[in-house]
Amino acid sequence: MQTVRIALPEARISETPRSTGACQFQVQVFKARECGIVTQGAQGKKNEEGNMDQDEASREAIEILGLTPLIDGHNDFPHLIRGFYDNKIQNSRFDEESSLVGHVDLKRLREGRSGGVFLSAYVDCPLQNKQNDFRDEIHLETIHDTLQQIDLIHRLIDKNSSTLALASNSSDIMRIFETENKIACLIGVEGLHQIGNSASILRMYHRLGVRYVTLTHNANNMYADSATVPGFHGGLSDAGREMVREMNRIGMTIDLSHTSAQTAEQVLDLSSAPVAFTHSSTDAACPNPRNVTDVCLDKLQKNNGIIMISFIPGLTHSKPEEASIQHVVDHILYVASRIGFDHIGIGTDFDGMEKGVQGLEDVSKFPDLVALLLEKGVEKDNVQKIVGLNVIRVLKDVENFALQERNKNVAGESEALPLLEDDIKQLWNDGIRSYVRQVYPDRG
């Protein structure tokens, strides 16, 4: 397919490494074999180095993707539809055989053996946020556009119901994948600016099917500091700490991609449920403020969360034009060597960047990544964790914590997390309220 230059918001295509030299990281990746992170020649036919050969790895990859849903933690297909097609999908271009611009269409999702995908209802930050102006009224258009994007995702699923199905929880994913032979679609929102400073709107998004919210995008907001601008709150604000508890309480997974390292560290210390970096890579392998530091990786292990490795060239290699599938695998093996395979997933950011890394140009290429992991000696059960089982486990843990909180609340237990209520602009003045009290003197 001919490369198409897609008009994206400036900050979404400017994620370049801090360092202009070669990627700098320790020898964990290269010591992975001797530490037992990868093994020489998992199963199958071996090549001269003792690992699974390419043909055998390709066959094994297809088998794995038939047994385990590959779940992409962050896909901006809805953003491309808004930008290029004006959200008009009621035509034949959006059927199962169409070839669309960008990195994603239903045909290539099937070719890539996709089993699940978080579709992002992304809307850019208000310009005022970039001047640390967080007033409620500047977010009204953002909320409006977010609801349009959530509606778009539902319409896209409904229009292609023979291929796609909405997943509302972790159990839905396996049912949709195994029983219905469809791609499980989940919804993410990429920044708390999209809730307009309102916990009520967060809860309504959850009712509409949103299952994770990124704390920031490329600007600070009322709740937290972003990775790509100077800090304002020193990480989380007081409102941000309350929002973390509310997201835990309702079962909304917290996404820390795009947040500053200080924000991420504070959330990892505070959150009672596992969190996710849905489309980030490792700072050790490619220094970049958008990538995850070793300190955060260590805290992520204790939190039992997940880092979903991105395919963004500027987050993958210090020379983005040289970034390749091999470098994506290097990031995966680095995380495995530091905190283990239980905390790794895949979060591409397809259609949210101009192009992917060499060898992972679009969603049809997922089997090649799985095959390369096998060639490198990653055991089958660990590959299954990476492609989907880890993120399903994180979602399940988030759901279980929320269920426990609901049960505590029903039982009237004092330690149950309180519902976070909005501060509402006063509708009635004191005169009207006084009159109502006079009419109903014996009532609350």
Catalytic residues: 74, 76, 190, 217, 258, 279, 349
- For the residues of 317-348, what is the DSSP string, one character each? -SSGGG-BHHHHHHHHHHHHHHH-GGGEEE--
Closest CA to 37 of 356, 378, 413, 351: 378
Contact 167, 186 (CB under 8 A): yes
Give the pair of three-digit tokens for residue 139.
């977010």
Residue 340's identity, in one-letter code, is: G
Alpha helix (H) residue ranges in 15-134: 28-35, 54-67, 77-85, 106-111
Q: Can you say whether the dihedral through the CA atoms of 168, 171, 174, 179 is positive or negative?
A: negative
Strand-pairing partners, residue 72, are 117, 346
What are the Cα distances from residue 393, in Å, to 196, 221, 398, 431?
Answer: 30, 29, 9, 54
Pairing mode, if any, of strands 114-120 and 70-75?
Answer: parallel
CB-CB contact of 99 with 214 (8 Å):
no
Query: What is the rounded distance in angstroms from the CA atom of residue 278 to the CA atom of residue 258?
Result: 10
Residue recorded with tokens 């259609």: 351
- What are the phi and psi torsion angles at 234 (to 5°)? 75, 35
Scored b (16 or more CB within 10 A) or e, 323-353 reads bbbebbbbbbbbbbbbbebbbbbbbbbbbbb
Phi, psi of 226 (to 5 degrees): -90, 160
Residue whose C-alpha is closest to residue 184's, from 150, 148, 209: 209
Give, to the nearest 10 degrees, the angle between helix 390-410 and helix 170-178.
Answer: 140
Q: Give, as one character, the DSSP assignment of residue 46.
A: B
**Torsion sign over Cα 425, 431, 433, 434:** positive
Distance (Å, whole) CA 336 – CA 334: 5
Residue 151 contacts residue 174 (beta carbons within 8 Å): no
